[in-house]
Amino acid sequence: MLELQRTIAEPVTLTGDGLHTGAKTKLTFKPAPENHGVRFVRVDIEGAPEVPALCDHVVDVSRGTTLALDGAKVHTVEHVLAAVAGLQIDNIRVEIDGPEPPVGDGSAKLFVDALAKAGFQQQTEPKDYLVIDRAVQYEDEERQVTIVGLPLDDFRATVMIDYQNPALGSQHTGLFDLDKEFVPEFSTSRTFCFLSEVEELSKQGLIKGGDLDNAVVIQDKELDQSALDELSGKLNVEKTVKMGGNGILNDKALRFKNEPARHKLLDLLGDLALIGAPIKAQILAARPGHKANVEFAKAVRKLYLEKQIVKKYQNVKQGDAVFDIEAIQKILPHRYPFLLIDRVLEVEFDKRVVASKNVSANEPFFAGHFPGRPIMPGVLIIESMAQAGGVLLLNSIPDPTKKLVMFMQINNAKFRKPVVPGDQLRLEIEMGKRRARFVTMFGKAYVGNTVVAEAEFMAALMDRDPSEG
């Protein structure tokens, strides 16, 4: 795998019809600077709005992967992204003058050929690989879908499909060397669908650009010739459509015996590009589809953002701490005598944080609470939980230095046991519902294995006054 980022050497343009919308569009790949990432640009809309290729912006996965942001939408991006990811391109602008990229022959070949023609430009910044160091899994028991990411200092992917159809049977495939295998073994694998799906999609007007030149249609039902003629008329297919003896309409030959499985792996590559970083992992996928791919990508992206947080605030992991006191002071505005957490032990992005507070006899509040019998005020235990929640919330936004966490409500606060000098508080906070800039959190404070306090919080993200530094 490549170690330095890459873009393309020069712009390249292609045209064609979109599979679902039927819209004729012009797509231009353009070079982009280091750390730019992959962005779609709707040049036909005023202001040329950009849509970053990230799973945060996925709005539909019903018949492909659709991205949208601020009113700009791009349908069926997976084959473009598969070409970009398969060729290990990190930074590129994808300018398009319509709602959907050209379908080509239903594979990624159109885009791979264009990018190869443009040539590649090595950049100076290292690639920002996400090395998966713990198992990440998505499972849909009802659909019997499983996708697992396992630790590996390289990239490999294995896909298995089983549609219980005689023309397909059970199929599997594996990509073990992106450099050598992607272009010849996977990029030309075409999209496939079942005849019953084509009927339904044509009724809904969802495959306006579909024909037998850009999809492999698997026969899962029998239609007489008059029904086939009617269907081809709806799809504006000029050639005669016939039931095939090999289980595929018009006896179309597969490019590979397991071409459907290879295409599923191609789609998976494209959807995994929405993580926003190249990954090193072993990916095992059983019966994947766009919905499962995107949900898995979201789980992996959370892991990526967690690692970015740690990398940003702490160069060397010290002991069992994710953030030490110096890192905490970069995140939170609190200072002595009101900084009430000492270490952050765990962070799960947008989900959970575990922090600790060493309760020393030298705490200034013990002088008056209470003389002769020092007890940590319950309100300060609540405050320490709130500060831990602030670490979690501030690290869910792009630039936490520009925001403050303001707590608006504290509900159901309960104090179970006094906290005294020599105790160590372990603060466990979980994020609840989030709406715009408001969020609910649930916190518990432990000494050892005993809950000493708990509460629910509502907080808001507010702009920090620039004069505060």
Which residues belong to the active site? 290, 369
Tell me the one-letter amino acid at 39: R
Q: Cα–Cα distance between 86 and 425 in angstroms, integer?
A: 48
Question: Rg of the chain over CA atoms, in angstroms?
Answer: 27
> What residue has token string 């110096």?
326
CB 173 within 8 A of CB 285: no
| Tokens standing for residue 139 | 């499972």
Task: Give CA–CA dist 441/437, Å, rounded.
Answer: 13
Amino acid at 325: I
Q: Are strands 279-286 and 130-131 parallel, antiparallel or unpaired?
A: parallel
Q: What is the DSSP string of 268-316?
A: HHHHHGGGSS-EEEEEEEES--HHHHHHHHHHHHHHHHHHHHHHHH-SS
Q: Go through the chain and tell me how many residues it has.
A: 469
Evaluate whether 327 touches 314 at the Cβ level (below 8 Å).
yes
| Contact assessment for residue 286 and residue 292, using Cβ atoms and an 8 Å cutoff | no
What is the residue type of 93? R
Strands 120-126 and 38-42: unpaired
Q: How far is CA 238 from CA 107, 305, 366, in A?
A: 21, 50, 86
The H-or-E segment that residue 60 falls in is strand 58-60
Q: Is there a contact between 384 and 371 (Cβ–Cβ < 8 Å)?
A: no
